[in-house]
Amino acid sequence: MKKKTGLFLIIIILGSCAYFKKPSFPVEQLHYPDSLHVVLRSDWGWKPLTGTIPEHRIKRITIHHGGVDFNRDEDPVQYIRHLQDWSRAKKNWIDIPYHFMIDLDGRIYEARPINYPGDTNTTYNPRGHALICVMGNYEHQIINRKQLTAVVDLCAYLAEHFHVPPSQIKGHKDYAETLCPGKNLYLYIRNGYIQNKVKEILNRENKNHQKRQ
Ligand SMILES: [Zn+2]
């Protein structure tokens, strides 16, 4: 009789552990070419999702800026960790609102998993958008060469992977009433520089691919 009660208790305990086990939500992990230096979520201390929203499919790429000055003496990893905590605690979002962050040296950091739509304080619907955010305020900071190259290379990778036409690479202000991504960065979207560079990369890769076949 005692043995049976013990067994019964063990089953109850194991059952309740399974019940209280934290749920895990699917995260689509992209595989980047060696030429694209991406700091993975696992390398900067990303905290796993604690909630979820319906997933989406990427159809366009939208460029943002952080909207606050970002200076040389600031640590980009601290900034991203803080942004994640703030997004969850203050905004009740599942994660950082953007899928990628780019720092002053053009380093790219993975942020919100790409299979979930981003979030916004403005009025557009970010479903279907891959969101790239350049840290800093480009209404008055100047975008540097390394950052611009990182934006182009990341856009080219995403455009190829998700079959996004370069014409669907735009800035936040193309969809909503905002200064984002700041005039000094938006300049390169408005004059077609980023879209044209992406086209060049995709054409070059297509030609290389045809040669190999
Ligand atoms: Zn924005």
Distance 60 CA to ligand 1 centre (A): 14
Distance 169 CA to ligand 1 centre (A): 13
What average pLDDT score do residues 59-68 get? 97
pLDDT band at residue 206 under the 50/70/90 scheme? confident
Distance 136 CA to ligand 1 centre (A): 12
How are the residues of the chain apportioned to helix, strand and coil, as percentages rounded to the nearest 5?
Answer: 40, 10, 45
Q: Using one digit for the tens of pLDDT, what is the confidence trace for 73-112?
A: 999 999 999 999 999 999 999 999 999 999 999 999 999 9
Residues forming beta bridges with residue 169, ordered by sequence position: 61
Distance 21 CA to ligand 1 centre (A): 36
Distance 213 CA to ligand 1 centre (A): 41
Q: What domains can be seen in the chain, in order of their start residue?
A: 33-212 (3.40.80.10)
Q: Using one digit for the tens of pLDDT, what is the confidence trace for 12-62?
A: 555 554 555 666 899 999 999 988 999 999 999 999 999 999 999 999 999
- Closest to 135 in 3D by CA, of 67, 207, 200, 191: 67
| Cα separation, 193 vs 32, whole angstroms | 23
Residues 6+ apart with CB under 8 A from 183: 138, 139
| Cα separation, 130 vs 156, whole angstroms | 12
Residue 2 has pLDDT above 80, yes or no: no
Distance 36 CA to ligand 1 centre (A): 23
- Closest to 64 in 3D by CA, of 171, 168, 193, 188: 171
pLDDT of residue 212: 77
Q: Using one digit for the tens of pLDDT, what is the confidence trace for 132-178?
A: 999 999 999 999 999 999 999 999 999 999 999 999 999 999 999 99
Higher per-residue pLDDT: 20 or 122: 122
| Cα separation, 70 vs 138, whole angstroms | 10
